Structure 1
Amino acid sequence: MKRRDFMLSGLGGLGGIAAAATIAHTAGANTPSRAPAAPRLAISWLGGATMLIKFDDFTILTDPTFGEGKEAYFMPDPNAMFDLKTGPTPRFHARNTPFPGVDVSSIDLMMLSHLHEDHFDQKAEATIPKTLSTILPPADADKLGTKGFTNQIPLDWGVSKTIATDNGKISIRAIPAHHSANPQVSAMLGKGNGYWLRFESGNWKKDVYWTGDTFATEEVLASIRRIGQPDILIPHMGAVGATGPLGLISMGAKEVLELAGLLGNPNVLPIHHSTFPLYLEPASHLIAQADVAHDRIDLIAEGSTIEYI
């Protein structure tokens, strides 16, 4: 099986977060001046790995999956047994829940951890404006280009970008993402991204680590240690692949709690669970294994929003 052919689209220190480029944010430039509101970070979970992250009138969409019903998206099934030489047969996958909906005209930036179809599905591809600014792994740039998306910002591991907002800034750094703890399987699935996002306004600051599909390998941990400890950890869960020949290709509750402990036990906002049958382990496993004395789990329902102030 050739590298990156397993999934149809493939996977593609802020203590040195020097901005290699700046994305100007001009929304509200012509509105009357007013005292800035108290800084806050609002994160809405729309199912899967899809989030709306809002800060200072700037809105980020992550890993969009808009499909619904029994044929929500088309992709090989890593949970099924298959011959590693040929890979799994693509099929339609269901969605368990209705898609909460999103106004794509309100999005300022799209961020992709990788291009597997449970992270960027066919309906999202057909719906999202092709000119939308998009941060993504360099390994997926050509593939996204063939889909007609023209405003790409490839971000390799360790590279940072800064977004100027009305009253502050957002710094984004690409973090290594290893789709398996097995290096051979990870290489087969391709090179994806996690992201460290720092939101700042005056003396107010929040650090968020969105893992992407990864495990806490030494390379991942070394990259994070160069930055510090996050306030919020957003892990991809679901224990995908547990029943297939590749083994785990996304974290389960055990791996998430171990990672949180290594990162100083930040708030954990779990995503990439429950939405699709593809995700084998429910979020209830995380709650059952958490130690309420120190594990801070922010478990929210699809379509819900949590604010950090």
Structure 2
Amino acid sequence: MDFQLIRNATIKLKYAGNTILVDPMFSSKGSFESFAGISKNPIVDLTVSLDSVLEGVDFVIITHKHIDHFDSLAKDKLQKDIKLFCQPSDKEFIANEKFVNTEVIESNTVFDTISITRTAGKHGSGEILSQMGEVSGFVLEAEGEPTIYIVGDSIWIAEIENVISSFKPEIIITNSGGAILPGHENNPILMNEEQTILLAQYAKNAKVIAVHLESLDHCPVTRNSLRQKADANGIDQNRLIIPNDGQIISI
């Protein structure tokens, strides 16, 4: 399996003979609104060309419809007949964008030889949670391949523990930017350093790949702060991988 971090939560996987694109955000630096009143987003440009990102993609997974996971440029550049998987609450939103080969995953589906299971998440806690909408994660399974758990935009919750216990993924991809919205500073809407470490400690047999870092103005967690927290807790670079934008990792 090959993993590539494009930027933020946009990842590209080569898995079981297929190429999978997750949460495409293609916008150039400063193309859309600030989330924290600090800077327009994204705060960095892509480090790879759009042509290379789109090359060979067999299907796309959208974890949820927020602009930093499915932006206007992605909607424009993706072929309208590309196979696209989404959660039930986003069906109408994606249909309105004229994609004609979309499949809603209620629970589980199969593409080629890949089993795709949708999982739950919570995009924050307290008052902010009701404003964030539904989010999903996805588990990928295929014979001869490691089981991959794409957690999506969620804080550390019991449902994630249950997925790890049930599927025993060898690879877990976490959105670890610790995003905070103004007025809700005590209720991050993503896992931060502490919660990512809790997940890594719980999933003792998995490699954790942390993404959703250093791309948006409301995400205070940095690669360095996460690495320092991991080192302090005895979690080395083989267990918690923090890739740079554009980096390819073969597992």
Aligned with residue 216 of structure 1, among 143, 156, 161? 156
Q: Is the 8 A contact 1:80 1:244 kept in 2?
A: no
Percent identical pairs in the alignment equals 23
Provide the C-alpha distance between the structure 1 equivalents of 2:173 and 2:224, rounded to a whole number of angstroms. 16
Provide the C-alpha distance between the structure 1 equivalents of 2:219 and 2:234, rounded to a whole number of angstroms. 28
Q: What is residue 37 of structure 1 aligned with on the other side?
A: none
Deviation of residue 154 (structure 1)?
1.0
Give the 5 Å matches for 1:4-83: 41-71=1-31, 74-75=32-33, 77=35, 79-80=36-37
Provide the C-alpha distance between the structure 2 equivalents of 1:69 and 1:294, rounded to a whole number of angstroms. 33
Paired residue type of 1:175: T
How many residues are paired up? 245
Q: What is residue 283 of structure 1 aligned with on the other side?
A: 223
Deviation of residue 97 (structure 1)?
3.1
1:94 aligns with 2:42: yes
Q: Is the 8 A contact 2:58 2:82 kept in 1?
A: yes
Deviation of residue 293 (structure 1)?
4.0
Give the 5 Å matches for 1:227-306: 227=167, 229-241=168-180, 243-245=182-184, 247-291=187-231, 293-295=234-236, 296-306=239-249
Paired residue type of 1:171: S
Provide the C-alpha distance between the structure 2 equivalents of 1:268 and 1:136, rounded to a whole number of angstroms. 23
Q: What is residue 197 of structure 1 aligned with on the other side?
A: 140
Paired residue type of 1:70: G
Provide the C-alpha distance between the structure 1 equivalents of 2:76 and 2:4, rounded to a whole number of angstroms. 22
Q: Residues 162 and 94 from structure 1, CA distance in 2 versus in 1: closer, same or farther, beyond 3 angstroms?
A: closer
Q: What is residue 170 of structure 1 aligned with on the other side?
A: 114
Deviation of residue 142 (structure 1)?
0.3
Q: Is the 8 A contact 2:154 2:191 kept in 1?
A: yes
- TM-score normalised by structure 1 residue count: 0.73
Q: Is the 8 A contact 1:45 1:305 kept in 2?
A: yes
Provide the C-alpha distance between the structure 2 equivalents of 1:47 and 1:286, rounded to a whole number of angstroms. 17
Deviation of residue 70 (structure 1)?
2.2
Q: Residues 102 and 198 from structure 1, CA distance in 2 versus in 1: closer, same or farther, beyond 3 angstroms?
A: farther
Q: Is the 8 A contact 1:66 1:99 kept in 2?
A: no
Deviation of residue 187 (structure 1)?
3.1
Q: Is the 8 A contact 1:135 1:153 kept in 2?
A: yes
Paired residue type of 2:98: G
Deviation of residue 112 (structure 1)?
0.7
Question: Unmatched 5+ residue regions in structure 1?
Answer: 1-40, 82-90
Q: Residues 197 and 294 from structure 1, CA distance in 2 versus in 1: closer, same or farther, beyond 3 angstroms?
A: same
**Higher helix proportion, which one?**
2
Q: Is the 8 A contact 2:214 2:223 kept in 1?
A: yes
Q: Is the 8 A contact 2:121 2:160 kept in 1?
A: yes
Provide the C-alpha distance between the structure 1 equivalents of 2:131 and 2:203, rounded to a whole number of angstroms. 28
Provide the C-alpha distance between the structure 2 equivalents of 1:70 and 1:50, rounded to a whole number of angstroms. 17
The residue matched to 1:234 in structure 2 has which SS? strand
Deviation of residue 75 (structure 1)?
4.6
C-alpha distance after superposition, 1:134-181 (max 9, x if no partner): 11111011011111112111113xx112222xxxx2211111011013
Q: Is the 8 A contact 2:15 2:145 kept in 1?
A: no
Q: What is residue 181 of structure 1 aligned with on the other side?
A: 125
Give the 5 Å matches for 1:149-160: 149-156=99-106, 159-160=107-108
Q: Is the 8 A contact 2:2 2:14 kept in 1?
A: yes
Q: Is the 8 A contact 1:211 1:236 kept in 2?
A: yes
Paired residue type of 1:285: S
Paired residue type of 1:189: M
Paired residue type of 1:234: I
Provide the C-alpha distance between the structure 2 equivalents of 1:269 and 1:46, rounded to a whole number of angstroms. 13
Paired residue type of 1:173: T
- TM-score normalised by structure 2 residue count: 0.89
- Larger Rg: 1 or 2? 1
Question: Unmatched 5+ residue regions in structure 2?
Answer: none
Give the 5 Å matches for 1:99-110: 99-103=47-51, 104-110=54-60
The residue matched to 1:143 in structure 2 has which SS? helix
